[in-house]
Chain A
Amino acid sequence: MNIQEAAQYSSLELTQAALRSASQLNPALNAFLTITEESALGRARQMDEERASGRTRGPLHGIPIAVKDVFCTKGVRTTCGSKLLAGHVPDHDAAVVELLAAAGAVLIGKTGMHEFAYGITSNNPHYGAVRNPWNTDCIPGGSSGGSGAAVAAESVFMAMGSDTGGSIRIPAAYCGTVGIKPTTGRVSRFGVMPLDFTLDHMGPLTRTVRDAALCLQAIAGHDARDESSSRHPVPNFLPGAGPTIVGLRIGIPENFYFDHIHPDVERNVRAMAATAAQLGAVLVPVQAPDIAALNAVGRVILLSEATATMSNFLDRREDFGADVLALLDQGRLLSAADYINAQRVRRLFQQEFARLWEHADCILTPTTPNPAPLIGQTTVELGGAQEDVRLASTRLVRGINVLGLPALALPCGLTGGRMPTSVQLIGKPFDEATLFRLGAALEDATPHRHVSPPVLSSER
């Protein structure tokens, strides 16, 4: 069931089902850090009363959702997955939380995540590992791992994530959900605990492309409280029925993006490209700039900014997990010149990547080179070589944060081991609408959205 189909049910029915699912699955998945049952039920009743009195706020009216525990929620604990903020109860809502509430959504809880959103496993040393609904021995990805798991397990229709180097798209890929990282400035960062001031993005993880469009519609737009927030007009994101992609130029990179990837990932992603061609799109071979170097630039920026963000906590080394602490220590050793030069090279890459738009309207790539690794796995074999799990998982997504471009991840079938694979659609600045149109066309033309993870069969 998607958000539009859910409108036939009362909010109370939907919310009770969501709460039941979240509670029943949490011992297996650990997707939720906090479940706000009482307030959710009260809110659902309010939404039903409003509907009965003739007031409907829009497509999210009465829809149960969750937000990653990086979003401030007034009166509700917001830990950022950290021990340091274990008792933090904000006195305000994040802008996104305000907007979702105004749209009528019902918040049922806060999802688990990698500590401080600084990693991709969501194997949290303080709150336990979040587990993948497709195989609970595997990571869900991260840092928005709880959001990916909660959506894949169909506990909620949407869970908000944040994405600094792939943290929406990686869990979307590993959990088999849709995830959109919007253009920089599209969604307010106000009230979201920062990791990196120039790389953080906020966006939804959902069951379908159209659900992602509806959710982004509710949270996009200018916010004066966030200096990076854009005044760019917000178009209608929702693709209609039978969206056409005839003549759409889809760039298929000839370099980097298909190197050293799992054969099942390559097969499924190329099959999606072939489907797009069958629907009338034009596949255009393109040469991407040096994405490995772009990723290195992103890492220098992230190491520097994250360490600056966390500097007041660094005297409490024992309260950090080992992996996050190592990254923060790396940031301490980089120079100011390194950071500023990374921001200068960033501008060069922005100009170089922009040239691709002369030949293509969007770019199609894999989201991750591999399916979800096991919890605790540190390397993955790709193309005959061992690669660090963190670097492999971020390899195809990190650079897009540096460029600030929108990117949509959507499922493209399973591996032979029945784990999800994902295709990434990268768009021009502020052109999320084209990504949703292409994504919806592909989703309509393929069976991938109708496949559910095994954890749902055991629940039912």
Chain B
Amino acid sequence: MATNWKAIAALLAPDIPAGDLERVTVPLEGLEAQFRPQVARIPLETEPAYLMAVVPEEPV
């Protein structure tokens, strides 16, 4: 189901002027169409591609 970006904008970013809304939501509609099918194929155990080192690594 497609996301209602205008409704999300009204909730999360009400300061976006009505006249600017199309510039914000239309690109997201196109992006979502390409991105969502990718999410559907992520295996459960896949970790995000960023890490935090708890302590700096020692030189090898």
Contacts and interface: CB of A to CB of B under 8 A. Distances in A.
* A and B: bona fide binding partners: yes
A343 B48 contact: yes
B29 to A, nearest CB: 11
Contact of A347 (B8, B15, B46): B46
Contact of A345 (B38, B53, B57): B38
Interface stretch (A2-10, A47-55, A259-267, A325-333): A325-333
Contacts of A342: 35
B42 interface: yes
B2 interface: no
B9 A293 contact: no
Interface residues of B, number: 31
Contact of A350 (B39, B49, B56): B49
A439 to B, nearest CB: 28
- A interface, over-half SS: helix
B11 to A, nearest CB: 9
A317 B20 CA distance: 12
Interface range on chain A: under 10, 10 to 19, 20 to 34, or 35 or more? Answer: 20 to 34
B59 A297 contact: no
A341 interface: yes
Given A317-B15, A350-B49, A333 B38 contact: no
Contacts of B24: 326, 329-330, 333
B1 interface: no
Given A333-B5, A348-B41, A340 B12 contact: no
Interface in B6-42: 8-9, 12-13, 15-16, 20, 23-25, 27-28, 31, 34-35, 37-39, 41-42
Contacts, number: 81
Contact of B35 (A300, A325, A332): A300
Contacts of A198: 49-50
Contacts of B48: 340, 343-344, 346-347
Given A329-B20, A329-B24, A343 B50 contact: yes
A231 B57 contact: yes
B57 to A, nearest CB: 7
Given A224-B56, A231-B57, A297 B46 contact: no
A367 B56 CA distance: 36
Nearest to A343: B48
A296 interface: yes
A317 B46 CA distance: 37
A63 B8 CA distance: 53
A66 B27 CA distance: 35
A289 to B, nearest CB: 11
A344 B42 contact: yes
Contacts of A344: 42, 46-49
A292 B31 CA distance: 10
A199 B35 CA distance: 18
B38 to A, nearest CB: 5
A77 interface: no
A338 interface: yes
B23 to A, nearest CB: 4
Contacts of A346: 48-49
A407 to B, nearest CB: 18
A227 interface: yes
B42 A292 contact: no
A57 interface: no
Given A333-B9, A346-B49, A296 B41 contact: no
Nearest to A198: B50
Nearest to A338: B35
Interface in A235-278: none
A333 B13 contact: yes
A449 interface: no
Given A344-B48, A350-B49, A332 B41 contact: no
A132 to B, nearest CB: 26
A347 B49 contact: yes
Nearest to B8: A333
6 contacts: A198-B49, A296-B35, A297-B38, A326-B20, A326-B27, A333-B9
Given A329-B23, A333-B8, A348-B46, 19 more contacts: A198-B49, A227-B53, A293-B35, A297-B35, A299-B35, A322-B20, A326-B27, A333-B12, A333-B13, A338-B35, A341-B38, A343-B48, A343-B49, A344-B42, A344-B48, A345-B39, A345-B41, A346-B48, A346-B49
Interface of B: 5, 8-9, 12-13, 15-16, 20, 23-25, 27-28, 31, 34-35, 37-39, 41-42, 46-50, 53, 56-57, 59-60
